[in-house]
Amino acid sequence: MSLFFSKDNKSLALFPLAPSTLLNHSLINSPETLTAKDSLPPQGENECLKHQQHYSQLLQKGSLQTSLRFENIHKKIGADIYRLRFFFKDGDEGERQSFLVYLEDQQANANIIEKSTYQKGKLFLKIEKAQGEILYREKGFTHDSENKNLFLQTINDQLVKISGPGIDCQF
Amino acid sequence: MRLISKFCLLVSSLVVFTSHAAVWEDSQVWSLQYEEEFSTWMQSNAVNETMFTNPASVYHGINTDCADTSYALRAIFAFEHNLPFFIYSPSGERGDSKTINNRQSKWDYAGSNTKRLIAMINEIGDSVGTENLAHFDTFPVAIKNISAGSIFMYKISARFGKFIRHAYNIKSINPVGTFDVIYSTQANKAKGLPLIRRKEKEFDNNPTTAPWGFRKFRWPDHLGKGLSTIPLELGPSEEQYTLAQSLGQIGFFKMIRKALASSNESATERLARSFKSVCVEAQARIDYVNQGLLHAKETSNKCMNYEEFDAYSTPARDQSLKELFEKFKAAYSEASTEGSLNSVSPQIREFSEIIFQNKTVANTDLLAACPISYRPGVSIDLAILWKRINNNLLSSHPNDSVEVRWGETSKGSTRCKRWY
């Protein structure tokens, strides 16, 4: 039995099975397939930094055509902290815009207090318009073009993730 | 008095302990062995269509759509095996709350640990869609690592700039390389219906780009990290995207089937499977058309607004049904071209000829083999249905009458707005 330590040594994964013998119906003989190692994005830190700079600039200038896929806003109003979440649920005939309002409790757990579909709910609109302090803003976008289909995530306007063909970067 | 004080102290400490209880305590860690067990569990009868709807099930009360079901199955397995369950926090990662996980005490109100689990799963279901699964909580796998417990997801363009996305959970892989899948949908969730099972599923939405296709759940330690941090033994790989692009849809899924099959599928088996798939989906249409008809009746057939139209119309599903027929036809044509029609069972061959070549064959009961009884007193066979579909006679508009919905007539078609 061999032991495998995860990168940060915080957990131990036991591999009583020899690697790559997990499946009975195992290896492909097809010449078209690539080895697993070959087919991970060849990402070095420098590559990721370049992507970060490039796409951060485009986002700041507003010159990257994107589609907003989700947004989370944490807003403090008086003593209360609300979270407004917009995202897409998956319908049988197509996606549906969904809007949630959470209220944080004393332990900073966020509990859903309003759910609405297709349009913002009354409470969502009320919290959105109310005076308060924005503590956190997270967005997820897609950028679709002929050459690339990218997913970008920002937290407080800082790019924290880019993924797509040949790109797998977290910052 | 001292005894009473001690008793009160004991009770109050118990109250304090239970009022901040985790959903469950994880004493185990994820490993290849546990992934193998997850795979075995997915194949077992423990994972079944009524596991959330049967009042006798301990998981009764869980209510899921497609992505929610994937999260639910993973959480239940982790719960039963004292494993950690962590997903990226859908509402944001400010401060300490970067994940939703089994160690949180926010569902204490629900009572027992099973009820806390159900509450957690339902809250996750309210907060996520397939994009959470795709971008944060799963990773793409190498073809050879596809197994029971893997998820297949796709995204396709629908009308007016919308997208349709879906997630299937692979319950097992059949010897011929098709999939036994279990899943749910938004419509299913709304009605509180059992999970949907398709035992011989062939996927046909080509995963030409990440983050779709075949995927597995990340371990807690791998959340928010690059693919290169995931152990190779778990099979992280983007090979399917390159292959899907170069092979095309038909070539890619043919390759998948070949890679995962342990036995060859004969022409008879393929045609029989195609026939069965078409039959199952054609009969399933009866239910969801009827849901629309019921709603129309309840609202005195008032023209449906966008939300109602979205809930009860069926253009995408009708298109899928048409594509299934076309796949069946292609299988028949291929068997004919290959010269293997003689090896196909006479009954299936006759059914195929009746449906696709308008042949009239004596003593063949296509209707009995697959009756589409869509309204009282009326039952049609697949040949009639195919003719109507092929001539674009079916209606997907939920304000249309049952006769119009099934292409029996176009007289009296609704004038209500077609939202898309």
Q: What is the mean pLDDT of residues B301-320?
A: 94
Q: Cα distance from A16 to chain B (closest Cα, Å)? A: 7
ipTM of this complex prediction, to 2 decimal places: 0.91
Segment 353-382 of chain B within 8 Å of chain A by CB: none
Contact assessment for residue A102 and residue B91, using Cβ atoms and an 8 Å cutoff: yes
Of residues A33 and B354, more confidently modeled = B354
B17, pLDDT greater than 50: no
The answer, for B225 touching chain A at a CB cutoff of 8 Å, is: yes
Helix axes B346-357, B267-298, angle to 10 degrees: 50
List, in order, residues 6 or more apart from A126 with CB less than 8 Å away.
Answer: none
State the smallest CA–CA distance between residue A103 and chain B in angstroms.
11
Digitized pLDDT (tens) for each residue of chain A, 171 residues in all: 333 333 333 333 333 333 333 333 333 334 344 444 456 776 677 889 999 999 999 998 988 889 999 999 999 999 999 999 999 999 999 999 999 999 999 888 999 999 999 999 999 999 999 999 999 999 999 998 766 789 999 999 999 999 988 889 998
C-alpha closest to that of B209 among A8, A165, A61 = A165
The pLDDT value given to residue A1: 36
Which one of B31, B123, B166 has the shortest CB-CB distance to A112? B123
Q: Do B131 and A34 touch (CB under 8 A)?
A: no
Mean pLDDT throughout B330-353? 91
B64 and B76 Cβ atoms separated by less than 8 Å: no
* Partner-chain contact B307 A118, CB within 8 Å: yes
B362-412 confidence digits (pLDDT tens): 666 999 999 999 999 999 999 999 999 999 999 999 999 999 999 999 999
In DSSP terms, which residues pair with A114 in a beta bridge? A101
Counting other chains too, the contacts that A79-84 makes at CB distance below 8 Å and 24 or more residues apart are: A80/A104, A81/A108, A81/A135, A82/A127, A82/A132, A83/A110, A83/B91, A83/B92, A84/A124, A84/A127, A84/A128
CB pairs under 8 A between A and B: 224
Structure tokens belonging to residue B312:
């009860």
B chain contacts of residue A145, beta-carbon cutoff 8 Å: none
Tell me the nearest-neighbour CA distance from B406 into chain A, angstroms. Answer: 18
Distance from CA of A57 to the nearest CA of B (A): 23
Kindly determine whether residue A112 and residue B127, on different chains, have CB atoms separated by under 8 Å: yes
Residue A27 to residue B142, Cβ atoms within 8 A: no
Establish if B68 touches chain A: CB-CB under 8 angstroms: no
Lowest mean pLDDT among A140-154, B19-33, B65-79, B328-342: A140-154
Looking at beta carbons, which residues of chain A come within 8 Å of B126?
100, 112, 115
Q: What is the pLDDT of residue B141?
A: 98
CA distance B180 to B202: 9
Task: Quick: pLDDT tens for B285-296.
Answer: 999 999 999 999
Segment B253-262 mean pLDDT? 96
Residue B132 with chain A: CB contacts under 8 Å: 87
pLDDT of B4 reads 58
Interchain pair A112, B162: CB under 8 A = no
Q: Give me the pLDDT at residue A165, please.
A: 83
pLDDT band for position B20 (cuts 50, 70, 90): confident
Using an 8 Å CB-CB cutoff, list chain A residues near B235.
Answer: 22, 36
Chain A: closest CA distance from residue B178 (Å): 13
Locate B106 and state its tokens: 């926010």
Task: Tell me the per-residue pLDDT of B97-125, one tens digit each, with 9 for 90 and over.
Answer: 799 999 999 999 999 999 999 999 999 99
pLDDT in tens, B41-88: 999 999 999 999 999 999 999 999 999 999 999 999 999 999 999 999
DSSP state of B304: P
Compute chain A's Rg from CA coordinates. Answer: 21
Cis peptide leading into residue A42 (ω within 30°): no
Total residues belonging to chain A: 171
Of A74, A93, A170, the CB nearest to B224: A170
Please list, residue by residue across B150-186, b when 16 or more beta carbons sit within 10 angstroms of its beta carbon and e when fewer do.
Answer: bbbbbbeebeeebbbbbbbbbbbbbebbbbbbbbbbb
Residue B177's closest chain A neighbor by CA? A25
Query: What is the pLDDT of chain B when averaged over all its residues?
Result: 93
Element (H, E) at B201: strand B196-201
- Is B269's pLDDT higher than 80? yes
> What mean pLDDT comes out for the span B173-187?
96
Cα–Cα distances (Å) from A77 to A48, A104, A167, B137, B301, in that order, read 37, 11, 39, 31, 45
Model's pTM, two decimal places? 0.89
Per CB-CB distance under 8 Å, the chain A contacts of B315 are 93
User: A111 phi and psi, to 5 degrees?
Assistant: -115, 135
B238 reaches A (C-beta below 8 A): yes
Distance from CA of B353 to the nearest CA of A (A): 32
B191: left (phi over 0), alpha (psi -120 to 50) or beta: alpha
Cα B170-B103-B137 angle, rounded to 5 deg = 35
Alpha-carbon A11 to chain mean position:
24
State the pLDDT at residue A79. 97
> Does the distance separating the beta carbons of B239 and A34 come in below 8 Å?
yes
| Entry field: residues in chain B | 420
- Chain A's closest residue to B236, CA to CA, is A36
pLDDT number for residue B159:
76
- Residue closest to A72 by CA, chosen among B100, B159, B94: B94
Q: Do B310 and A94 count as a contact with CB atoms less than 8 A apart?
A: yes
